[in-house]
Amino acid sequence: MNTFQVVSLILLAVLFLRDLRKWVRARSGRGVRMLRCIVWAGAAVAITMPDQLTYLALHLGIHRGADLVLYVTVLAFLWVSFTLYTRSLRLERELTSLTRHLAIRDAVHKPVQSD
Amino acid sequence: MLAIKPYESVVPSIATNPLPTLAADSASIWIVIAAYNETSRLGKTLAELLPHYSNVVVVDDGSRDDTAAVAEKAGVWTLRHPINRGQGAALQTGIDFAIQTGADVIVTFDADGQHDPADIPAILAPVLAGTADIALGSRFLGKTIGMPFSRRVVLKLAVIFTRIVSQIKVTDTHNGFRSFSRSAATAIRIYQDRMAHASEILDEIRRQGLRYAEVPVTIRYTAGTLAKGQSSFNAVRIAWQFLVGKVTK
């Protein structure tokens, strides 16, 4: 096992245990925690057993394990980007609605002041 | 009230069922002004408007200067966005307020003095006459004072962009001088908080089959308004915001 694999595994183990602990204790959002645990475990398998990753890639019609990781990463990045952008737009609209509500509620109309 | 000037209908109305007409002296006409950091120019704009129109609402869009104080001192309705949300958002706030207050016709007017209050009767005329739901000011049918060549080119490109994307044949696309009937103002909802709202309004006019007319108006450019106005690069950003807004609506 090389240095990169050792360091990565330690980091992934910490992340996995942290999310596993939160998954056990959580009352809501358990699905997201479980998904994160699966991602950390999958990353650990891919780093420690590159041959198995290549084997999986070949079964999917991709020649290299590294290419499989690249494709999955790009797809995940696009999905996350679109999700965050849509959420950001929704928040912007809610912020505008709130701002509008406050502005109309606190409308001011004073008599003309003479200097 | 100013006397109604003869109305020159430039774009033939697509109306088949005329709307009820409104008498200019009895209709509740509201002027909506979105203002951001306009302390230096708002006072003069309001001074020109107030002798003729009593229902004026200024929406201070989170200005960092004394814009709201200037509006309050002038004795107009003053609404304050606690944070800056953009011109489109501010206009929608003012329009919502005017509708709640019972407006029959709503005019959107710039705070910086680019618009001429003498054009208001003309922009009101088609809506009051019931021949249009919305009247759109056009500087290219009217007059421009001090408009740089680069601005003219950008605005002409915007017209072409609008004809392709929104499929509406107008001569001026980003002119903030408009009038809306109460029903049109209620039907159109501005979701583009920033400058792309102008394209969004045109899009909604076509999508909802609203009746519109273009009215010649005068736009006055000064060093101050040009410094604060949209750069050519911003035009690209506005187009991008509009296109993204169309697919994420």
- A–B: how many Cβ contacts below 8 A? 62
Contact between chains at B79 and A107 (C-beta distance less than 8 A): yes
**Of B16-20, B143-147, B209-213, minimum mean pLDDT range:** B16-20
B237 pLDDT tier (thresholds 50, 70, 90): confident
User: Is B77's Cβ below 8 Å from some Cβ in A?
Assistant: yes
Domain boundaries, chain A: 3-105
User: Is B96's Cβ below 8 Å from some Cβ in A?
Assistant: yes
B244 pLDDT tier (thresholds 50, 70, 90): confident
Looking at residue B75, what is its pLDDT?
A: 96
Start-to-end Cα distance in chain B: 40
Residues B56-115 pLDDT 10s: 999 999 999 999 999 999 999 999 999 999 999 999 999 999 999 999 999 999 999 999
| Strands of the B105-110 sheet, one edge to the other | B77-81, B56-61, B29-35, B105-110, B178-181, B134-145, B212-220
Strands B212-220 and B134-145: parallel
A26 pLDDT tier (thresholds 50, 70, 90): confident
User: Which of B107, B242, B249 minimizes the C-alpha distance to B184?
Assistant: B107
- Angle at CA B2, nearest 5°, toward B34 and B71? 30
Q: What are the Cα distances from residue B72, in Å, to A72, A112, B66, B106?
A: 58, 8, 10, 20
User: Is B74's Cβ below 8 Å from some Cβ in A?
Assistant: yes
User: Which of B86, B60, B29 minimizes the C-alpha distance to A106?
Assistant: B60
* HEC-encoded secondary structure of A19-75: HHHHHHHCCCCHHHHHHHHHHHHHHHHHHHCHHHHHHHHHHCCCCCHHHHHHHHHHH
Q: Which residues contact A90 (CB under 8 A, 6 or more apart)?
A: none
Looking at residue B23, what is its pLDDT?
A: 67
Strands B29-35 and B56-61: parallel
Q: DSSP class of residue B1? A: -
B residues 139-198 closer than 8 Å to A (CB): 191, 193
Could you tell me the pTM of the whole model?
Answer: 0.83
Of B75, B77, B82, the CB nearest to A107: B77
Question: Going by CATH, does the domain composed of B29-146+174-194+208-226 fall within 3.90.550.10?
Answer: yes
**A50-59 vs A30-48: helix crossing angle, rounded to 10:** 110
Contact between chains at B93 and A104 (C-beta distance less than 8 A): yes
The Cα–Cα gap between B243 and B236 comes to 11
**Mean of the pLDDT values across residues B181-202?**
94
Contact between chains at B77 and A109 (C-beta distance less than 8 A): yes
User: Is A85's Cβ below 8 Å from some Cβ in B?
Assistant: yes
Residues A77-98 pLDDT 10s: 999 999 999 999 999 999 999 9
Chain A residue with the nearest C-alpha to that of B77: A109
Given a cut of 80, is residue B246 above it in pLDDT? no
Looking at residue B248, what is its pLDDT?
A: 66
Strand partners, B143: B218
Q: Which residues contact A81 (CB under 8 A, 6 or more apart)?
A: none
Chain A residue with the nearest C-alpha to that of B72: A110
Residues B148-160 pLDDT 10s: 888 889 889 988 9
